Amino acid sequence: MKLKDTDALILLDVQNDFCPGGSLAVQGGDQVAAKLSDTAARFKARGGRVYATLDWHPQNHVSFKTNGGPWPPHCVQGDKGAQIHSALRLPIGTSIIRKGTNPQEDAYSGFQGTTLEDQLRRLDVKRVFLGGLATDYCVLNTALDARTFHFDTYLLTDAIAAVEANPGDGEAAIKKMKDVGTTLTTCEEVLSA
């Protein structure tokens, strides 16, 4: 696939708390981090743009069980769990998008409450390629929003992993993304000459 500066790779929430040992660990998170590190470097070298979203929650975030939400505290601003996984090396020039910063609002999508759409529009981005954590939450909702905003959206199926709160959630999320027009692909297919 020919890549250019109107293509954007969006790495979703590849943070310590979503990987083994974290407070909301996703099985396979370490492998996703390593896969996306190589992919991001190659994507950038081929002329594409790279973005990385981070859950960046205040201590009193509405999504935490202690505040009546469904999740254990995770990705608290400034904590080790909120840091980018050590296996994910971001290329120079990667744009960081922090989400979930409003204590009263959950934000599964990388577009919700952030400047991501504005940044992509300003640079005339047409195609977005999504990978990261977790398939059934932040990847799903970012893909749905990307399609709503009329971006050509590609899901890197070999660089995602699901929470699977219920068995089959990951596969169901992939089906939802496909149903709204997301193209399923792999890192190698995207990076092939």
Q: Which domains are seen in the chain, by residue range? A: 7-191 (3.40.50.850)
Question: How large is the average pLDDT for residues 100-129?
Answer: 97
In the chain, the percentage of residues whose pLDDT exceeds 90 is: 98
Q: Which of 168, 113, 108 is nearest to 144 (CA)?
A: 108
Q: Tell me: the pLDDT tens digits for 97-111?
A: 999 999 999 999 999
- Pairwise CA distance, residues 102 & 121, whole Å: 24
Alpha-carbon distances, residue 121 vs 64, 109, 115 (angstroms) = 33, 17, 10
Question: Helix crossing, 140-148 with 169-179: angle to 10°?
Answer: 10
Q: Does position 193 have pLDDT exceeding 90, yes or no?
A: no
Write down the pTM of the prediction.
Answer: 0.97
In the chain, the percentage of residues whose pLDDT exceeds 70 is: 99
Asked if 104 and 67 touch (Cβ cutoff 8 Å), the reply is no
pLDDT at 147: 98
Q: Does position 27 have pLDDT exceeding 70, yes or no?
A: yes
Average pLDDT of every residue of the chain: 97
So which residues are the catalytic ones? Answer: 13, 99, 138
